[in-house]
Amino acid sequence: MTETHNHQGSGTSKQRVAKHRGSRGPGRSTLRILGVTLAMLTSLLALGNSPATAQTTNIVVSPGESIQAAIDSAPEGATIIVNEGTYTENLFISTDGITLRGKKATLVFPDTPTPNTCIPPGFPEGEGIAVVCVGPASFGGESPVDATPVKGVTIRGFTVEAGPFDGISAITTAGLNVNRNNVTGAGCDGIFAIFTSGSVIERNKVSGTDCAGINVLASSSLVVRRNTVSGAVNAAGINVGESSKVKIDRNKSTGNCLGLTVVDTSDGGFGVQAEDFVSNNVTITRNKMNKNNVTCPFGPDFTIGGTGIGVYGVTKALIKGNTANNNVVSEPSITAGGIVVDDFNDTMPHPAKNIRVIKNTSKGNSSPAGQVDLVLLETALKKVSGNKCGTSTPNANWCS
């Protein structure tokens, strides 16, 4: 394990620029110009000797070394660079500002994992453990939602061969950034986050999960962008629940039960209740949710699936410029449709309302009930216009 230090000085560039500009113009004497030059040199020398320097620690991990040992020894703000190779361990990050960056590194779930705080309540010992967990070291008797979040953690550039539960999991975080990872074969969610704020999940590839590909609950100021998800055969490729101020943009989902869902449900796990966390202020733009052709059992009497975009019980959402084509199922599904807005006969804790559906393309979506490109709850709608589709219900004139 190699440790290096990089130093970045405090800036005086604005001062130097101001002095340089002051020397311009006709009639300036040579002495004045020399004086400015000496002042600039003095500033540079002061910069080099200034005690007010910001320090960044880089720690390099190579095959045969422990990533967790590097995490445990890292100070706040450190970058841990993991070199190409396969590492069989599950990781836990509870220090602010850690950047964990893989350079063609693969994480494999170990036979004997180490428990951490990302385990949902009620799981037997040794189960429910993610390959990578970000969260507080303990909750100190507090509810996770009331605990101090872990701030500014980045996880980037890993292949995660997930174990029996989540691939990358985060609980009680702020400013989390999960990007450019490839997560495969999770026994539950590929990427899961709950109680996070100001966080970004982008440019990840997630495949072959037993639960959702990407699942975020009870969060705010969230961006989910440019991810590609496939093979979530029991849930949605991307699901966001009980969250506010959400931007979901330019993602791709195919081969899932549902492509993308934004929901406001009664129970999201970890004690999340929709009465406390409301799904609102959501923008869903430029996503491609095509060929999500799987039906999933969702109860003793019905199935879900064959859905491109589903928005359920959400207050204030913009659905614009998306593509939801050829989501086809051969079995009955209560959610079937290219773009669906519903609250399932008021069974959602909050009624869907103030929804705009604008300039989307939704074609070739069908189930045994027939072709269903737009399925929209009229009482929830604020505006519907410019959508290219074959069929719409209950208003047959919603397709342009």
pLDDT at 119: 83
Q: Which two tokens stand for residue 288?
A: 């491609």
Q: How confident is the model at residue 39 (pLDDT cuts 50, 70, 90)?
A: very low
Query: What's the pLDDT tens digit per position in 71-92?
Result: 999 999 999 999 999 999 999 9
Residues in the chain: 400
- Side-chain half-sphere exposure of 301, counting CA atoms within 13 A: 0
The position carrying tokens 């959702």 is 212
Q: What are phi and psi of 16, to 5 degrees?
A: -65, -40
Beta-ladder partners of 362:
389
DSSP letters of 151-193?
ES-EEEEEEEE--SS-SEEEEEEES-EEES-EEE--SS-SEEE
pLDDT at 23: 34
pLDDT(17) > 70: no
150/161 Cα distance (integer angstroms):
25
Reduce the DSSP state of residue 379 to 3 states and report it: helix
pLDDT at 396: 93
DSSP letters of 225-272?
ES-EEE--TTSEEEEEES-EEEEEES-EEESSSEEEEEE--SB-STT-
89/289 Cα distance (integer angstroms):
34
**How many of the other CB atoms lie within 10 Å of CB of 388?**
13
Q: Which two tokens stand for residue 16?
A: 């130097």
User: What average pLDDT does the segment 145-163 reach?
Assistant: 94
Could you tell me where the DSSP H helices lie in the chain?
13-22, 30-49, 67-73
Reduce the DSSP state of residue 374 to 3 states and report it: strand
User: What average pLDDT does the segment 127-139 reach?
Assistant: 91
What average pLDDT does the chain have?
A: 85
Greater pLDDT, 111 or 39: 111
pLDDT(338) > 70: yes
Report strand pairing: 388-389 vs 361-362. parallel
Q: Which of 189, 183, 177, 235 is nearest to 204 (CA)?
A: 183
**How many of the other CB atoms lie within 10 Å of CB of 19?**
15
Distance separating the N- and C-terminal Cα atoms of the chain? 61
Greater pLDDT, 11 or 381: 381
Residue 83 makes CB contacts below 8 A (sequence gap 6+) with 60, 61, 62, 63, 103, 105
pLDDT at 102: 98
User: What average pLDDT does the segment 118-122 reach?
Assistant: 77
User: What average pLDDT does the segment 339-343 reach?
Assistant: 94
pLDDT(280) > 70: yes
pLDDT at 149: 95
Q: Which two tokens stand for residue 317?
A: 């959402």
User: What average pLDDT does the segment 118-127 reach?
Assistant: 74
Q: What are phi and psi of 367, to 5 degrees?
A: -145, 180
Most confident of 25-29, 55-59, 161-165: 161-165
Using CA atoms, how far residue 243 sits from 160, 173, 296, 321, in Å, is 26, 14, 24, 22
Percent of the chain with pLDDT over 70: 82
Most confident of 131-145, 249-263, 272-286: 249-263
pLDDT at 31: 28
Annotate 132-142 with b (16+ C-beta within 10 A) or e (fewer).
bbbbbeebeee
Reduce the DSSP state of residue 144 to 3 states and report it: helix
pLDDT at 355: 97
What pTM was estimated for this model as a whole?
0.85
Write the single-letter amino acid at 263.
V
Most confident of 52-61, 155-164, 274-283: 155-164
pLDDT(310) > 80: yes
pLDDT at 41: 32
User: What average pLDDT does the segment 361-379 reach?
Assistant: 94
Give the DSSP letter of residue 332.
-
Dihedral sign (CA 155, 209, 370, 299): negative
pLDDT(282) > 90: yes
pLDDT(248) > 90: yes
pLDDT at 275: 56
Q: How confident is the model at residue 2 (pLDDT cuts 50, 70, 90)?
A: low
Q: What are phi and psi of 57, to 5 degrees?
A: -100, 125
120-134, 157-171, 288-302: range with lowest mean pLDDT = 120-134
Beta-ladder partners of 163:
none
pLDDT at 395: 95
69-73, 83-87, 205-209, 299-303: range with lowest mean pLDDT = 299-303
335/72 Cα distance (integer angstroms):
45
User: What average pLDDT does the segment 53-75 reach?
Assistant: 90
pLDDT at 4: 53
